[in-house]
Amino acid sequence: MKKIIYKKIKKYRREKMNKNKFMESYIENLQRITLKNFAETSDKDRYFALCDTIMELINQEWRNCKNRTRRSRKAYYFSAEFLVGRSLGNNLINLGIYDEVKEILSEIDIDFESIENFEDDAALGNGGLGRLAACFMDSAATQKLDMYGYGVRYREGLFKQKIENGFQVEGGDHWIKDGDGWSIRVESDSKIVKFRDQTVKAVPYDMPMLGFENEQVNTLRLWQAEPFEEFDFSYFNNFQYDKAVEEKNRAEDITRVLYPNDMQREGRVLRLKQQYFFCSASIQDMVSKYKRYFDHDLQFEDFSKYHIIQLNDTHPIIAIPELIRVLVDENGIEFKRAVEITKNTFAFTNHTVLQEALESWPKDIMLEVCPRCFEIIKKLNENLVKEFKEKGLSEEAIDPYRIIRFDQVRMANLAIVMSKSVNGVAKLHTQILKDDTFKNWYKLMPEKFNNKTNGITPRRWLVYSNIKLSNFITEKLGSDDWKYDLTKLKGLEKYLDDEKTLEEINQIKFENKKDLAKYILENEGISINPNSIFDIQVKRIHEYKRQHLNLLHIINLYHKLKKNPDMDFYPTTFILGGKAAPGYFRAKAIIKLANEIARVINNDEEVNDKIKVVFVNNYRVSYGEKLFPAADISEQISTAGKEASGTGNMKFMLNGALTLGTYDGANIEIFENAGVENNYLFGAKVEELNEIYDSYNPKEFYYKNEDIKDAVDTLLSGELNDNDSYMFLDIYNCLINPQGGEKADTYFVLKDFEDYKKTHEKINKEYSDRLTWARKSLKNIANAGYFSSDRTILEYAKDIWKL
């Protein structure tokens, strides 16, 4: 393993923070923004006044950072998603004044928790990909790396999920309806973005990204679309009010919603518009600043010396032709030169091997949105083909490399040709990119390919969300250096055989489980027993993540307990959660199934002191903060080869849960680091699945294995009710009775069922040895250091960005 050098951080605690001054300016802000007397103010007022006070506190440092880095080499993280979540608590933690502010507020009788709960999650992302971007922002600032984030300020974040009668119902998530305490609108940096049929204004909103207890404040710049002209006065004058605001609406539509599609291709014009919108604004921003601060270099000789753009998946790839466009059309640079500059400026991260998520755009849509970019791409494609032909490749041999084929622009190909680096997000994933997904490219340019295993920020996912464990670790290690060098957790291993420590670990977990039980009772109306095993699977709902494997197992287990009530069994609470893309019928069917199973089991008095099932509503970052600390078992059960990395798995591990997982994504590295014997590995490996791919017949498993047959048959037996939605039939069919040319059980649910069941039985048995369990838990915590996003971001900085 490569040695990572963590930057020596100058500790910057506001130990001498002037409490009186803080309180004074807080109350002043509160009264100024509300015009009310203190006693009359609401939680909402109090929350926003606190945001203001903190923003004032960091203003100076933020400006210093901006000034200092004007002429430095910076990394630019281009991402259509930044799943930030809430900022208040995290900012206070990073400022090192969390306890102090809580104390100040309590002196004036303000309950911190109630104003903290006032904050809506900034849900500007779908899942792992967006949350990774947010963790990277935290880590870059903490490691004092000059990294700038560019993205979209969606007015409606991801939809809010409600469960009605067991079905997912989507509602709007207007997260900034009450205001936005953490952004500054920088009107003067607005840019004009031109589409073929429309011209809009891109207005930047800057969010401060605070390093942990240092003075670094990086910027996340999110663009909002607004009309170029507010409204057409001539229409207004003629009493055509609707027409007058039409342009305004059309412009605002561009950044109105985040596409709630996790891994499915969304082929709509508006989606490409969004991508082009934020990429164009960001590229213009970078180029105009370059011209301002490097005014001697009108030929852009040094542009790539000062800029490296990391493309977060395929969504921002349109930035490549856009940079060429701006250089050539607006700055008179020769095309060939512009291509050279661009090639040295971009790096590309792939986040999935699922074909449906590798974007490609039909020519006509591109022509409709950004015709000049299409022209540029066409030229790049011609040059590429020419180059290959000169090397003697046949037309056929060139096919896999073409950027445009059958009038489709293949974005990943564009990114690979035009980037200096291509990376995957876990060891296995990168290997699959080399061997399979991008194998042709890898043969041609192996030097470009590299791996950067994902990570998570320990500040949000432990220091902030699991205060008890965090304090415990500091006490045991005698220092809190681990908060910015997570590998220091290794020091906990000296307590592996210390009974007292192990008991404390169990006690902390128990306290966290009680907190979660209380929260679940309040929010879901279900009472759960904190003494039972908390077995949790939270993530987006997708067939490859196999929540239905989990559910089929629960069905079978339920039947066994019914048949044999005295069976030796440790009470277990199965918790699931996650959103389904609104158009993804089968994922919604899985949600209905989870809720239906929960209804039946939780109402069955014969078993409900042994098993409970909870489907948590509206799973999001702030819910996760309550779930991870309370988990005993982390379910990571994707079909081997399909989950690029996973990052929830790391959050669970860091909080002491044991992983029940397949040999997939970063699970593999978790097993490597914490020891497979301290976790629960099950299921077929990629090589085996590849081998049996063509011959696999799930029916064999169905007929041979009684438990499988029992679980699968229950989908249609009438015991579970899908309210005539045909949803359970759909799940049944996809497993053993495929329709319309679909392959049966594509994700090998039935193949892995038996092993999954046996592994559950093992867990259930082993859990009662509480000390051995705690030891395994501690092993996981102590070896979670590798999964800090500090490590990941430093690898990017060193290997790709050369910062």
Positions marked active-site: 351, 539-540, 545, 647, 651
Cβ-based nearer residue to ligand NBG, 666 or 794: 666
132 interacts with ligand NBG by CB under 6 A: yes
CB of 753 to ligand NBG, least distance (A): 23
Cβ-based nearer residue to ligand NBG, 85 or 646: 646
Cβ-based nearer residue to ligand NBG, 322 or 643: 643
Query: Residues binding ligand NBG: what is the number (CB under 6 A)?
Result: 18
Q: What residues pair up with 161 in beta bridges, in sequence order?
A: 170
Which residues, including other chains, have CB under 8 Å from residue 647's CB and lie 6 or more apart? Answer: 128, 131, 132, 135, 454, 455, 456, 666
Whole-angstrom distance, CA of residue 779 vs CA of residue 781: 6
CB of 14 to ligand NBG, least distance (A): 34
End-to-end CA distance of the chain: 21
Residue selected from 313, 322, 535, 632 as contacting ligand NBG according to rule CB under 6 A: 313
Q: Transcribe 310-322 into DSSP letters.
A: EEESSTTTTHHHH
Give phi and psi for 364, each to the nearest 5.
-65, -35
225 interacts with ligand NBG by CB under 6 A: no
Residue selected from 94, 261, 645, 667 as contacting ligand NBG according to rule CB under 6 A: 645
Interacting span for ligand NBG (CB under 6 A) from 67-75, 231-239, 644-652, 766-774: 644-652
CB of 549 to ligand NBG, least distance (A): 17
Q: 577 with 598: CB under 8 angstroms?
A: no
647 interacts with ligand NBG by CB under 6 A: yes
646 interacts with ligand NBG by CB under 6 A: yes
Report which DSSP code applies to 182. Answer: T
667 interacts with ligand NBG by CB under 6 A: no
Helix (H, G, I), strand (E, B) or coil at 722: coil
CB of 540 to ligand NBG, least distance (A): 8
Residue selected from 181, 665, 698, 785 as contacting ligand NBG according to rule CB under 6 A: 665
Residue selected from 91, 274, 381, 454 as contacting ligand NBG according to rule CB under 6 A: 454
CB of 220 to ligand NBG, least distance (A): 18
129 interacts with ligand NBG by CB under 6 A: yes
The two counts, helices (H) then strands (E), for the chain are 33, 23
Q: 402 with 416: CB under 8 angstroms?
A: no
Cα–Cα distance list, 726 to 110, 585, 616, 730, 746 (Å) = 51, 10, 23, 6, 20
The sign one gets for the Cα dihedral 616, 621, 626, 632 is positive
422 interacts with ligand NBG by CB under 6 A: no
547 interacts with ligand NBG by CB under 6 A: no
Which residue is at the shortest CB distance from ligand NBG? Answer: 128
Residue selected from 89, 96, 128, 260 as contacting ligand NBG according to rule CB under 6 A: 128
Whole-angstrom distance, CA of residue 373 vs CA of residue 325: 7
Q: Transcribe 628-682 into DSSP letters.
A: GGG-SEEEE-PPTTT-S--SHHHHHHHTTPEEEE-S-TTHHHHHHHH-GGGSEE-
607 interacts with ligand NBG by CB under 6 A: no
Whole-angstrom distance, CA of residue 304 vs CA of residue 69: 16
211 interacts with ligand NBG by CB under 6 A: no
509 interacts with ligand NBG by CB under 6 A: no
Interacting span for ligand NBG (CB under 6 A) from 64-72, 523-531, 645-653, 774-782: 645-653
316 interacts with ligand NBG by CB under 6 A: no
x-marked contacts with ligand NBG along 254-293 as a string, rule CB under 6 A = --------xx------------------------------
Residue selected from 505, 644, 657, 670 as contacting ligand NBG according to rule CB under 6 A: 644
3-class SS letters over 402-455: CCEECCEEEHHHHHHHHCCEEEECCHHHHHHHHHHHCHHHHHHCHHHEEECCCC
What's the one-letter identity of residue 314?
A: T
Whole-angstrom distance, CA of residue 104 vs CA of residue 139: 28
352 interacts with ligand NBG by CB under 6 A: yes
151 interacts with ligand NBG by CB under 6 A: no
Cβ-based nearer residue to ligand NBG, 46 or 542: 542
CA nearest neighbour of 33 among 48, 17, 14: 48
What residues line the site for ligand NBG (CB under 6 A)?
Answer: 127-129, 132, 262-263, 313, 351-352, 357, 425, 454, 643-647, 665
